[in-house]
Every structure is written in C-alpha cells, then in structure tokens.
Amino acid sequence: MIEVKNIVKKFNSVKEKVIALDHINLIVKKSEFVLIKGESGSGKSTLLFIMGGMLNPTSGKVIANKKDLFSLSEMERSKYRANEIGFVFQSYHLLPYLNVLENIMLPNQLPEIHIQKEDVYKIADELGIADRLYHKPSQLSAGEKQRVALARALITKPSIILADEPTGNLDEKNTIEVLNYLRSFQKNGGTVVMVTHGNLADTYATRTIQLDKGKLQKS
C-alpha cells in the first residue's frame, strides 16, 4: 500500500514559487492498477516521483509498504527503491553502449540486488525479447525498447511498478502489449501506478484519479 499524506511540492521560478502539488491525499491499495491523468503541467509526474521516493516533497508524507519514505536516510530510501519499486519511463533510459542483457542486469550494480542470468532469460522470453538479448538499443524498435525497460523494472521482483507515460512513444499495438504485461503483474499481486495522457489504459485500471493544476479532483 502507498499512502500519500497532505503532500505539497513547490518549485522556485525566477519570479515566484510554483505550486506543483497542493495538499494531495491519496491511498493506493495493494494489487490496484491506478491511472493518474491530467493535462500537461498538472503535477502527474511530480506526484509519481514523490510516491517513489525519487523527489522530496516540500511538506507531507509518503507511507509505502509501512515505511515513511522521507524519514529514511538517502541510503535507506535507495535500498527501499531497489527492492520494492520498478520504474518505467517514456524515454526508456537504456544505456546505448550496453546490449539488452546488460541493460536488464543494470540493477545488479546495487549491493542489495543479485540477478541471475537465468532469470533474465526467463523474463526476456516472457516479454518476447529473448532473441534481442545481444542487440544494442539502437537496433531495437520502440516497442522492443519499452519491453527491455519493463524487463529491467520487473527483474528485481518489485511489489510496485511506477510508470511515467510508458506508452507515450508507442503505437496502439505495442501500447496494448505493454498494458497487458502491466496487468499481468497486477493480477499476480503487484501494484501499478501509471501516469498517462491517453485513454487506451482506461479499461485496464482499477481506478483513475485526475489532477488539475496540482489539485486532486473528486471523481
């Protein structure tokens, strides 16, 4: 479970402070598939990054799997993210000089993560990229790149997937494939929180929340 308690996030601009999130309260239960929607600049990604402990709020708390994320030390929070959260981004964040196998095994650089090659082969087969393990990202299609990014997020066996516009660069066919993988993760007990602009994910979600100018809108 993730509980967002009275979260405020302000950014300093040249002329004034911008309120990106304005007293957000939200509970995401275990095994939910929650969509966060809203116009550009509404605070969707900011909320997602705070929920994952990647961005400190100005005030408020995030309780995730019974841990108060921002009362942890940076090292403790990093360890929590490594063990409990898989991140998926629109721009994939694959390292161009590594092949697919090496990109999926990147979390192994963290001392608390121990990935076996056999696990990579298994998840690559499940995601349909087993024949791409020794290709570089430049040799992959957009859909294949996102499946590599998804494999890297899933390989650590997280309890939560946080996805920021993971289908934003994909056509409809590849979008549906990625959504099916995320739903399978959720059906197997995982929790998914996904930021999106589009409507293709609507039927996959157990719940949709709407942000408008940093405020949570009542459904």
127: which residues sit within 8 A by CB, 6+ positions away?
147, 150, 151, 181
Give the pLDDT band of residue 219 (cuts 50, 70, 90). Answer: low
CB neighbours (10 Å) of residue 8? 15
Do 80 and 72 contact (CB within 8 A), yes or no? Answer: yes
Domain with 8 in it: 2-217
Do 69 and 80 contact (CB within 8 A), yes or no? Answer: yes
- Residues 49-74 have pLDDT tens digits of 999 999 999 999 999 988 899 999 99
- Residues 81-123 have pLDDT tens digits of 988 999 998 888 899 999 999 999 888 777 677 888 888 999 9
Domain count across the chain: 1
Residue 124, domain CATH: 3.40.50.300
What's the pTM?
A: 0.91
